[in-house]
Every structure is written in structure tokens, then in C-alpha cells.
Amino acid sequence: MRTRGRSRVAVGVAMMLALLTATASHGAGFSIFEHGSKAMGMAGAFTAQADDPSAMFHNVGGLAFFDKQEFLVGLTYITQTKADFTGVDPFPGSGTTEELETLAEIPPHLYWVRPLNEKYKVGLAINAPFGLVTEWENKDTFTGRFISTKAALTVVDINPNVGIKISDRFGLGFGAILRLAEVELNRRAPLINPFTGQPNDVATVVLESDMDNGVGWQVGFLAKPTDRFSWGFSYRSTIEVDFGGDAVLTQILTGNPQLDAVVAASLPFNAGLPIATSLEFPDAASLGFAYSFTSNLLVEVDLNWTGWSSFDQVVIDFTNDDLPDETLPQNWDDANHYRLGVRYAGRRGEWRFGYVYDETPQPDEGVGPLLPDSSRNGVTVGYGWQGRLNWDLALMYLPFNTRSTSTNRDNYNGTYETVAWLLGVTVGW
Amino acid sequence: MRKVKNRTLLAALSLALLLPAVAAAQADTGSADFSRFVAMGDSLGAGFMSGSLHEGGQRNSWPSLIYQQVNGSAAGFEQPLVSSPGIPGILELRSLVPLVIAPAAGFGNPNNLTLPRPYDNLSVPGFTMGDASQTVTGNPVIDVVLRGLGTQLQQTAFLQPSFVALWLGSNDVLGAALSGVAIEGVTLTPVNDFAVALATVGQTLEAVGVQQGAIATIPNVTSVPFVTTLPPVVVDPAGNPVVIDGQFIPLIAETSTGVRPLGPGDFVLLTATAELAQGRGVPPPLGNAGPLSTFVVLDRDEVAAIQARVDELNALIRQAAQDSGAALVDVNAIFDEVVAEGLNIGGIEYSADFLTGGLFSLDGFHASPMGYAIIANAFIDAINATYGGSIPPVNLSRFVFGVEGQLPIGGGTLEFGELRFSRQAWRSLRKSLRLPTRKELKRALRASQRSETRRLRLSERPADRQARLEAARSGGGKLRRR
């Protein structure tokens, strides 16, 4: 039985690494909060419950209370039914409409918990707490193509944890985090064509980092002062990842042979130009309170804080000075999520409902084609039942607030409208 | 079936109701009255581009763009449109390597000469502030705009405008920058003369009841590509600076303080290409063709004199805006910022660079279509701010991506064999901008030396300049005070 479990874990890890070619942001900023369908059914208000192995994501303090080995494996399918941009004057102008490529991303999650004894528990979590894909359609004509045509961030956390049951009413947990991450940034490079006075696309610029890593830690506790009331707190540290990688420029011909020759002679095309960059992932804290009104009705409220002010700028250093370094200022602010979850135990299974308000950390001047973020309100419904396996399903409707900017740093102004849907499926045994 | 029919009828009716409203759609101009909008300007207002008055540039001149943003179309805004290849023949980029910019052969025709009233855009290439009230004729370009019907100011007054956009003054300093010689009264308009001319314009407009307007400052004409493009150092035939012992080799030139090697703050004008091709400016022992002539070099003392004059004239313009309540369009500040930092439009870096900066046309000092669109938006911003309107800014995508943004060309009548920024190109430019000829400049230089007046007021103490400025202001009168 134990051997079988281990091989399942191994298969799960392999499957997940294969799936994690790209993940999509749908928590504000580029975080992803849906890493367990039970919690997701309650809009992630789970800090004070933390009673399935996804505790290692929501509040590692919950790990202390496990009394048997458990596995939990699942996927969250993320898609968008709307992801549009409408321009305003002066640029890119009223009447300009652009569309993002439809997302279809499936960040997976996988947890294993094993009690060593009554007091000490260990566990392993693998998930993707951050991720991003912003890829625009019609790249040849997209009016923001000189800013970004695609930005993608892929993250995998490998997170071993220890839980300590201090008493029947107080559990403590902590863990180490190894974060693997990869970044891709694509755009077009323009040149004013002296013959026409207008910009031409003269190159595609593809920046791809290696899969690099950073380490961090997390800690949390879960307190159950009465049989009806519980509360918890968890904190995850900042993690800095230093990336190496390369940039590849591919020439786009303008059709003017003289101009094309000048361009070909002045840019280092078709070579991997070494780059270095760095990303400081924000720290995050969660505080939650849960109360059981009856034996089958529980309500939880959570506050999550994310230290997005760590995301101040992205500096792309061309380490051989093949091209001038680039600085992409971000200057984000710390931001909160507010979550409300309800669970109701029916005769056959458990219904869950939730609501989340997720504040954007992005200032107006940063709202642009690279990463157009917005505050959002999400509502969720979930259902879980126990059979030979434990199944949890959750559905989230996540309309983003319409976000307009008139102060974009690249003078690229307009309105972004996004509606996302998420479907979570998790199975445990 | 009947239901469908009714619906169609209803739709048609509501369309009919909507249509007149759509046709009459006018931007919210706040308290600004655009019922008769007239522009007084110079080549920059005329949409002069690549050395030519050409309908390709005129149709999107900044006055026309403002009118279009207010009224939804250019219909009704009358300009002295000139067919391709323009007057004079428009400059074209024939080759990038080697660089060949030459005018199209032939002349275009004025297509709107019979309009039985003055044009709404009365901008005349080459006009100074003084010309507005003094000049009726003088060259073919002036005649195309003014048609012998009176001065720019008289014709403006005749139209009894509700709103006047006024941008003059660049030619009061530009001659010095482009001809490489700063001479008071010849290439630089004396402050007093400018103040008097400005006051004349203001008083005349006030007398005919003009109550509203916008007035723009003079950009720093020493920052245009015509001045800043060529490096003041010896370059090899491939265009790369020659380096000996780790040092660039400065060119030598006649300057306002005698023949000397050029250094920081000195500029070599685009017109120097012919002399450079002859080897002039290369110091001995590398070269022996002599120094560059003073007419193709703008030395730092001349730059300082021009910039000081720009500041003095702009002080008068700002004062006039304040006194009259007109919107002030600070083109000077906007252009300084573009020169210092560039202008990022959707990830495209526009700049004040020649050829690849996107804001200047091929003559190196008149704007490109994009440049004029940005100027139009500066006017619109200022007008909205002053009069509380919300005239929409010009959609720059039209100029970044659309055909409207392309530099106009002469239309197939190409003339080959001109090298670089040709003498011919320069001659036609000089004529249309009414810059003094070399002969005239030399005469003026001799005269100024004879009379022992200082060629430049370089050593003038700040206090003296202040006093002179005050005198000019108090003597110069003011635009109508609201």
C-alpha cells in the first residue's frame, strides 16, 4: 500500500511537470490561489479550516491535525470567456479593439500527508502559486505589439512541511519552499522607416529564461479554542529567483532592401544573446476565522495580504552588452483579498459556496499589454462527496472589474474587460 | 410578418431621427466658440513638410486637425491646397546608403485659388510675427496663401473669427539657426520689434471682436535635426568618427570668435555636407581645404544668442496669453521634453532624430505628419484646459499605422543625381522660407562690423537683458485684456 502510494506520487509529479508548460494568472497580480477544489468551493476561505491536505497551501498549521496518510491530486482548468481591450484617443485610438488569446491552462496540485506519530506530521505539496500568460491575438497588427505580444511565467513549488500538534486545540506547521520558475517575454521591435516616416516591425524579440529556482519558507498555525470556533494564520516568505536565459532576435523584412541591409548590419540577429533578470515573488499572509453555526453549517471569513510592493521593476540585463539593458517599471502596491466561504453538509455530500474580492496591486500607469490586471469579484460553488475516493468539484465565475487607464507608461491607453471561469477537480484517498 | 414590418419601420424612423443629430455632432468645446476658427501661423501652421507646401502635409496641418477634431471632418475648413509635387518640389529620400535627399522636379498647382474669401488657415511659410501685419507679397508661396488680398492679419480680421489659433515667431529666430549666423535685425528679430508686432496683432484682433484664441510658444530651434545631426568631428567615408590616439578629431570652422576647432555645444548644419565632401573642416595636417564656413556652422555663442532670444520672445508670448486669456500652448516645453527624453507611443520611441525619429520631415526642421498630429494634440489639450471643453485628441493610430502618417512624396517625377542634402534642396527651402541669401548675410555681417555694434549680444549682462526686456514689454503694448 505504501509502495503503491509512492509510485502514485512519482507519477503525479511527472504528470504535473509535463502539464506545467504554462499557467495562467487569475488571482490579482500573477498569483494563483486555487490549489484544492474543496477550498476553491468556498472561494479559498480555508485558513481557519485547513482540514484537507491542501492545508499546506492555505495554512500549514492545519497539517498538525492529520491522523492518517492522505493523498490529494487535482487540476484547476482556467479559461476566459472574454479578454478584450478597447483603445482610446490619442493612442491606440478609439475604435481600436484587441483580443487576448483564449486561455486554456490547467495548473495542477498534489499533496501527500503522513503522520509520524500523534504529535509530528510531515507532508509534501507541489503546486503553482504563481503563473501568467498574456498572449495577444493577431500579432502582426496588434497595436501594442511593440510593448508585448506574449508574457508567460511558469512556476512550480516543491514544498516539504512539518506539522506539530501542540495540543488538541492548537497546531503549528512550517515548511521549506523550492520554487522553480521560468519566464518568457515576446514583443516586436519597431524602427521608423525613413522612407515613409512610419514605424515598421523589424524584429521579433523572444526572451526566454532558463528554469531557475529560489528558496523560501512558510509557517502557520491553526487554533480551535472551542468546538465551534477556529481561527488560523499563515505566512509565506518572499522568494527571489535569479534567472539566466537568452534573447533571440529574428529579422522581419520591411521590403526596402537598403533599410533591411542597415537593420541586418546593426542588430545581432539569430543568436542567443545571454540575458539575466530577477524576480522577487511577494510574501503573503492569511488570517481566517471559521464558525460552525450547526453541525452541518460552517462559515469562514478570510483576509489575505500579498506584499506585491516587491514587484517594483523587471530589469533585463544583456550580460554581454549585445543590446542596451531594459527596465520595465512596475511599482506595484501591496494588496488584499477578502474571502467568504460557507459549507453545508447534506445527506450525500457537502455543498460549498464562496465569494472573493481580490484587489489589484497594479497602479494605473502599469496597466498595459504586458500584464493588464484588475480587481475582481469571484463567486464559487462546490460539491464534495466521499466514496471509495474523496471527490471535490468547484466552479468559479470571475468577472474582472472593467479597468481603464489614461496614464499608461507607454501611452497605450484604453479599457480592459475580462471574464474568467475556473473549474477545479480534486481527488483524494 | 406585420410585426416584423413594424419593427423595420420603427428602426427606419429612429434612424431618421438619429441622423440629423449625428450629422450635427460637434465636440464639446466648453466655452470656446469654434463657429469661425482661423489659424495665423508660419510654415509650421501651413503643414509645410519636407521643404514643400504640399497638400499631403496641408490636409493634416495642425489647424486642420484641430478643426477636424471639433467638427468631425475637414469639410468647410479652407486651405490654400497645392497639388503634388508641391511648391517648391517636395524633398524625397532617394537612397539611404549613400544618403540622398533631393526635391521632386517641377511644381504643384494651387487648387483653391478662386475661393471668394480668405482661407481659414492663413499660415504663410516664412512669416515672422512682423510679417503678419506687414507683408502682402514677396514670393510665390506667400502669393499662394495671401493672393494679394491683404496681410495675414487683415484677412484674419476680415473673417471676423470667433477663435484664432496663433503660432508665429519661429521665423524670428530660425534664420539664425539655419543660416549659421546670428545677426540682430537680420536673422534675429529684435525683441522690441517682436513686441510691437505681437501687440499689433493683439490690438487688431481685439478691435474686430476676437475674444478667444490659443497662442503657442516658439520651440528651441537649435534642437532640430537640421542643426543636431552632423557630428562636429572628422568622419571617414563610411560615416564613422576618425579616432587618433583615442581622441575624436574636431572639425575646424569659422565661428563668431574666429577660426577654431569645434567643441561641445558647437553644431555642424546639414548644409555642411557639400563643404565636408570637399574636405573642408578637416584640420591640418589631415586636411588642407580650409575651415568650414560660418554659414554651415552654428557655434556655441550663436546657440546661446538664439536660445536667449527664444526665451525673450516666449516671455512676451506667455505674457500675451495671460493678458488676453488665450490658451497657452507651450510647444517650447513639450519639444524640450521630447529632445531630452524622447516620446514613447505604444512602445515606439519617437525622438528629435533626423530620419529615424519619426517627428521631423526630410528637411530636418519641419514636422512629419506624426509631428503635426502631436502638435495638434498639444493645442487641443491647452484649449480644453482653458475653455473647459472636451475636444477629443487626434487618434494617433492614423499616423502611426495609417496612410495619413506617411511622408508625402512628389508622385513619380523623380530627378536623379543629387547627392546628400542637395544645394538645390537647400536653395528651394531658403527661398520659400524667405531666409537671407549668403550675399545678403555677408553684407549684413560687414555692416554690423563697420558700425561696431556687437554682432551678438553675447556679453550682455543679465541685468541689461532684463532692462531691455522690460522696455520692450512696456513699449510693446498688450493683447486685449479680458
- Is the Cβ–Cβ distance between A120 and A162 less than 8 Å? yes
Partner A, chain B 368-407, Cβ-Cβ below 8 Å:
368-370, 373, 377, 392-401, 405-407
Q: What is the pLDDT of residue B467?
A: 58
**Best residue in A86, A143, A195, A367 for a mutation probing chain B (most B CBs within 10 Å):** A195
Percent of chain B, pLDDT > 70? 81
Q: What is the pLDDT of residue B359?
A: 97
pLDDT value at B215 more than 90: yes
Between A259 and A61, name the one with better pLDDT. A61
pLDDT value at B478 more than 50: no
CA distance A325 to chain B (A): 15
Q: What is the pLDDT of residue A6?
A: 43
Percent of chain B, pLDDT > 90? 62
- Is the Cβ–Cβ distance between A182 and A153 less than 8 Å? yes
Quick one: which H or E segment has residue A263? helix A257-266
- Is the Cβ–Cβ distance between A423 and A394 less than 8 Å? yes
A130 three-class SS: strand
Partner residue facing B96 (CB), from A143, A192, A259: A259
pLDDT value at B20 more than 60: no
Q: CA–CA separation, B233 vs B239, rounded Å?
A: 11
Query: Are residues B405 and A91, on separate chains, in Cβ contact within 8 Å?
Result: no
Between B9 and B70, name the one with better pLDDT. B70
Q: Looking at the complex, does the CB of residue B348 fall below 8 Å from at least one CB of chain A?
A: yes
CA distance B70 to chain A (A): 14
pLDDT, tens digit, 9 for 90 and up, residues A25-51: 556 678 999 999 999 999 999 999 999
Q: What is the pLDDT of residue B415?
A: 36
Residue A114 gets the label, from left (phi > 0), alpha (psi -120 to 50) or beta, of: beta
pLDDT value at B461 more than 60: no
Q: Looking at the complex, does the CB of residue A293 fall below 8 Å from at least one CB of chain B?
A: no
Q: CA–CA separation, A233 vs A286, rounded Å?
A: 5
Between A24 and A402, name the one with better pLDDT. A402
pLDDT, tens digit, 9 for 90 and up, residues A150-161: 999 999 999 999
Confidence of residue B167 (pLDDT cuts 50, 70, 90): very high
C-alpha cell at A82: 472574454
Mean pLDDT value of segment A304-308? 96
Q: Determine if the peptide bond prior to B88 is cis (ω within 30°).
A: yes
Positive or negative torsion for Cα B366, B370, B373, B375: negative
pLDDT value at A11 more than 50: no
DSSP letter string, A311-360: --EEEEEETT-SS--EEEE-----EEEEEEEEEEE-SSSEEEEEEEEE--
pLDDT value at A303 more than 90: yes
pLDDT value at A296 more than 80: yes
Q: What is the DSSP letter of B294?
A: G
Q: Which residues pair with B44 in a beta bridge?
A: none
How big is the A-B interface in CB pairs under 8 Å? 99
pLDDT, tens digit, 9 for 90 and up, residues B378-399: 999 999 999 999 999 999 999 9
Q: What is the pLDDT of residue B110?
A: 94
C-alpha cell at A180: 522553480
Query: Are residues A89 and B392, on separate chains, in Cβ contact within 8 Å?
Result: yes
Q: What is the pLDDT of residue B472?
A: 47
Q: What is the pLDDT of residue B422?
A: 53
Q: Which residues pair with A132 in a beta bridge?
A: A153
Residues of A in contact with B350 (CB under 8 A): 192
pLDDT value at A10 more than 60: no
Mean pLDDT value of segment B131-150? 94
pLDDT value at A258 more than 80: yes
Most confident of A15-19, A251-255, A261-265: A251-255
pLDDT value at B3 more than 50: no
Q: What is the pLDDT of residue B423?
A: 57
Q: What is the pLDDT of residue A265?
A: 86
Q: How far is CA B360 from CA B49, B350, B419, in A?
A: 8, 10, 20
Q: Read off φ and ψ for residue A24, nearest 5 degrees.
A: -120, 140
Mean pLDDT value of segment B35-41? 97
Q: CA–CA separation, B454 vs B302, rounded Å?
A: 12
Q: Looking at the complex, does the CB of residue B345 fall below 8 Å from at least one CB of chain A?
A: yes
Q: What is the pLDDT of residue B448?
A: 64
pLDDT value at B317 more than 70: yes
Q: Looking at the complex, does the CB of residue A199 fall below 8 Å from at least one CB of chain B?
A: yes
Q: CA–CA separation, B287 vs A400, rounded Å?
A: 70
pLDDT, tens digit, 9 for 90 and up, residues B220-274: 999 999 999 888 998 877 777 888 888 889 999 999 889 999 999 999 998 898 8
pLDDT, tens digit, 9 for 90 and up, residues A313-365: 999 999 999 888 989 899 999 999 999 999 999 989 999 999 999 999 999 99
Query: Are residues A411 and B345, on separate chains, in Cβ contact within 8 Å?
Result: yes
Q: What is the DSSP letter of B250?
A: B
Most confident of A27-36, A103-112, A237-246, B10-19: A237-246
Q: What is the reported pTM? A: 0.86
Q: CA–CA separation, A336 vs A308, rounded Å?
A: 10
Between B369 and B430, name the one with better pLDDT. B369
